[in-house]
Structure 1
């Protein structure tokens, strides 16, 4: 854009002074011509660059969720299609639930049997406890042989231990029932949010491994923008600052946004923890920081598709009205240039 403005400016100078000779190109006008150009360049570099950061690298981001079933199995039915919007909770695909249905039936039956067994042993325990209570009363009176007391005590303790074992067995069976029921409920994978599938290639008859990612789901419930901003101009950027952005797929259109946050970190400067001291080759530098923007307005006619790219202008609190107007003219002009492209 700066190159086009420069070419247009000097073409205008050529027309005025050399083509049509409307003015004489003397020392005064040479100072005026080059002074205006130098002033405009300094304004662009210093004032606009510092107070209204400009990013030519902006991309639309959405959350992508990997679909990975809780257990492996045979795919029996595929309900959804790639790139077709689905609602949260809509079925995506189903797996063969027969193994887990059988486990649920088996574990449920065994649990019911364990419950009945506990009731039977508890009845025996109640009877043994009554006999022990009688022995406790009768032995001191000499109405019952003394050796009956420890026998009946052992009987009660044995029944209590048996009940404890049955209860542990019930806990194990209950866990098996819960696992089987959970997996049975998750035999059909559903959409985790409103969105669409990108690369669903599953077909009935395919086999899925345990927790293997089988598709990428793009959520349409949330959308945000990521723009790269030069470190020399990011110092004044604050959450809530107004921003305008344009996308290449919508030539001539401008959209509004708000600054959500600045990502105060760059991957190139990250050091990996190893047993060796870091070297200068491991340390990289970056010119930019990422700024997260939240789009504002109605995008029903201009959907913000994941991966759409463009540019953005951020208006910080340091920007005066004249500078804001100049930056808005610049981003609008850049957006109009998107109409011109080589389709071949």
Structure 2
């Protein structure tokens, strides 16, 4: 009787399971560590723009509000009007002070011109007194005239010299007064310009094109300098801020093509390009830091740090289709 052929032993089920686990871990490691070299993706992204907070440069009661919430505005559009009456009165007062200072300066200038003519008269009188003294002195030496005549000529010469010196002193004082009066005029004009500027700033206009957002302002509110009243989302500065893992962000160059998914426009991909990569992030979320803080994401055990990448739409998307702060997703084919 022929013997049965030998049978190949079947590997235990546990051995096969181990191989599948090892294979799965290897594939996972390849995807985790090498997947970014082919495709980079992040859902930690959002639509960003510049938010302009409009604050008054002067105090006052809000007289009227010219816009409504979520309204589109253009640069130069009127946003609100503060009560201008007190600033009109202040400007009128400054204008009166300019006129008074100018009149005073004209008066001081006329007085200075008078002292200049007095100097000319004193010079002429001194020349006559000097000539008389020069004529009498040799005659007294020749005893043709008495000493008394010489004494009188000497006194007249001294008086003429004193009058000329006094005229020069008065002229110096007059010139200083004219300079002070002119300075007062310039100061009054500067104060008038400041008052006119304050009146002009009671009307607040839009500094950028965009959309008024979260408007709660109503007439009657007292506005203070530097306290924001209206916020505008600049519709010319829309972009995507995408937080990528460090190894991905560090390898991105400006101009790299990306694809953007907006949660506000599902099932549609927008082309874009990398504009810049952030060069620094804060390691903690302490308020007031100028560096951005990006919350690390948990992936297995290690907390991955991410760097912000600024992405612009290419071609640009119409501003009316974008919403600041909306979620986005970014895909990059390496």
- SS at 1:153 equivalent: helix
1:235 deviates by 2.5
TM-superposition CA deviations, 1:273-319 (whole Å, max 9, x none): 9xxxxxxxxxxx8611000111112523971210111210234xxx3
Q: Flag structure 1 segments of 5+ consecutive residues without an equivalent.
A: 1-28, 274-284, 320-344
Residue 308 in structure 1 maps to residue 295 in structure 2: no
Checking the alignment, whether the CA contact within 8 Å between 2:112 and 2:178 is kept in structure 1 is no
1:254 deviates by 0.3
Measure, in 1, the Cα distance between the counterparts of 2:320 and 2:190: 50
1:232 deviates by 2.6
Checking the alignment, whether the CA contact within 8 Å between 1:262 and 1:292 is kept in structure 2 is yes
Q: Which residue of structure 1 lines up, in the alignment, with residue 47 of structure 2?
A: 60
Moved more, 298-307 or 115-124: 298-307
- SS at 2:258 equivalent: strand
Residue 156 in structure 1 maps to residue 156 in structure 2: no
Checking the alignment, whether the CA contact within 8 Å between 1:269 and 1:286 is kept in structure 2 is no
Residue 106 in structure 1 maps to residue 104 in structure 2: no
Residue 295 in structure 1 maps to residue 310 in structure 2: no
Q: Flag structure 2 segments of 5+ consecutive residues without an equivalent.
A: 1-15, 131-156, 289-302
Residue 259 in structure 1 maps to residue 274 in structure 2: yes
Measure, in 1, the Cα distance between the counterparts of 2:91 and 2:38: 65
- SS at 1:232 equivalent: helix
**Candidates 121, 124, 133, aligned match of 2:108:** 121
TM-superposition CA deviations, 1:85-118 (whole Å, max 9, x none): 0111111110011111111111112102211221
Q: For the structure 1 residues 246 and 101, does the alpha-carbon distance in structure 2 shift closer, same or farther, using more than 3 Å as the test?
A: same
With normalisation by structure 2, the TM-score equals 0.75
Measure, in 2, the Cα distance between the counterparts of 1:41 and 1:302: 42
Q: Matches of residues 23-62 of structure 1 in structure 2 within 5 Å?
A: 41=28, 44-62=31-49
1:261 deviates by 0.7
Checking the alignment, whether the CA contact within 8 Å between 1:268 and 1:286 is kept in structure 2 is no
Instruction: Name which one, 1 or 2, has greater alpha-carbon Rg.
Output: 2
Measure, in 2, the Cα distance between the counterparts of 1:77 and 1:187: 11
Measure, in 2, the Cα distance between the counterparts of 1:43 and 1:112: 85
TM-superposition CA deviations, 1:45-99 (whole Å, max 9, x none): 3443135422111111110111110111111111011101011111111001111
Q: For the structure 1 residues 76 and 170, does the alpha-carbon distance in structure 2 shift closer, same or farther, using more than 3 Å as the test?
A: same
Q: Matches of residues 166-205 of structure 1 in structure 2 within 5 Å?
A: 166-205=181-220
Name the one with the larger strand percent. 2
1:268 deviates by 1.8
Q: Which residue of structure 1 lines up, in the alignment, with residue 71 of structure 2?
A: 84
TM-superposition CA deviations, 1:149-184 (whole Å, max 9, x none): 122112111211211221222232122111111111
Q: Which residue of structure 1 lines up, in the alignment, with residue 224 of structure 2?
A: 209
Measure, in 2, the Cα distance between the counterparts of 1:251 and 1:147: 99
- SS at 1:236 equivalent: coil
Residue 147 in structure 1 maps to residue 162 in structure 2: yes
Length, aligned pairs only? 278
